Amino acid sequence: MSLQTDLLLDRRRLKRRLVFWRFITVLALVVASLVAIGKSGVGFQATHVARVSVTGLMTEDSKLVKAVDALADDGNVKAVLLCVDSPGGSVAAGEALHDAIERVATQKPVVTVMGATAASAGYMIAVPTQRIFARESTLTGSIGVLLEAPEFSGLLGKIGVNAEVIRSGPLKDEPSLVRPLSGIGREVMQALVNDMYAQFVAIVAKGRNLPIEKVRELADGRPYTGRQALNLGLIDQIGGEREARAWMAAEKSVPVTLPTEDVSTASVASRAFSGQIGGFLFEVWKTVLSQSVSLDGAWAVWHRSNI
């Protein structure tokens, strides 16, 4: 083999190694940047209004609560739009999200825009915001708590099935699928519901700055239309996102021209790789190659079975 051929092969090997280490270096820099961004809570977007959407039946969502919490300290977020279209869900889910929204509302403007339904726990999460908008036909309110437990003892008796229960105490299996509630069991379950109901009423009274006696009068579980809710003091204004942005501009100095960005519960890294950084890495890779190869617990939910 000639000296010229050896030199050519050595150059190719060196070039391949150089390309490999270039790519590793770029990848390491990108990963380090993503880690730093994730720790600092800084996103890729410029100054904007964050939109938090809560739709459907509400269950505990720690990622959403964490994402909402992060908005309080995000300097790029100048205000928050909470968009609700939900019949409610678990009391615990409503409480967790309510508390996160309340924390954000102490730091920056937060406004609720209700869709077709924002009832029960869906209404609970709206009350700490500084202004609530709803359509005239929005169904909201339904302030209350329920516990439901199916009971099949009648059916089991008809088909000749018996259930034996061994329990450590008289209330351990209350409520039960295989026998009716006992008298004391019903009292205990009712006490639980009453306590959570009292908590719900207190949350509404505080958030809406209403006398607790008035809230109790309204909180018999019924839903209200947006127009009724406005007259009762449960919401502030008829309208949607356009009206909400206009109010924030007039009252909170948040320009209407400021872009709105949806809050995602995906990780910073996954958002980045699926978006701008993903495209950037693809371009880097092309450049490199071209150089080398040429329902838990109780529920606060409005049941719409009667509609």
**Which amino acids are annotated catalytic?**
120, 172
User: Phi, psi at residue 117, to the nearest 5°?
Assistant: -140, 135
Report the interhelical angle of 91-105 vs 62-71 (nearest 10°): 10
User: Phi, psi at residue 293, to the nearest 5°?
Assistant: -130, 60
Taking residue 209's Cβ as centre, other Cβ atoms within 10 Å add up to: 8
Residue 222 and residue 128 in contact, taking contact as beta carbons nearer than 8 Å: no
> Cβ-count burial of 208 within 10 angstroms (0-12 exposed, 13-18 middle, 19+ buried)?
buried
CA 20 – CA 50 distance, rounded (Å) = 40
| Pair of tokens at residue 277 | 């950084």
CA 229 – CA 170 distance, rounded (Å) = 44
Residue 277 and residue 269 in contact, taking contact as beta carbons nearer than 8 Å: no
> What residues does 82 pair with on adjacent strands?
52, 112
Helix (H), strand (E) at residue 49: strand 48-55
Say which residues have a Cβ less than 8 Å from residue 85's Cβ, sequence separation at least 6.
53, 54, 55, 56, 114, 115, 116, 117, 118, 122
Selection from 130, 175, 186, 167 nearest residue 150 by Cα: 175
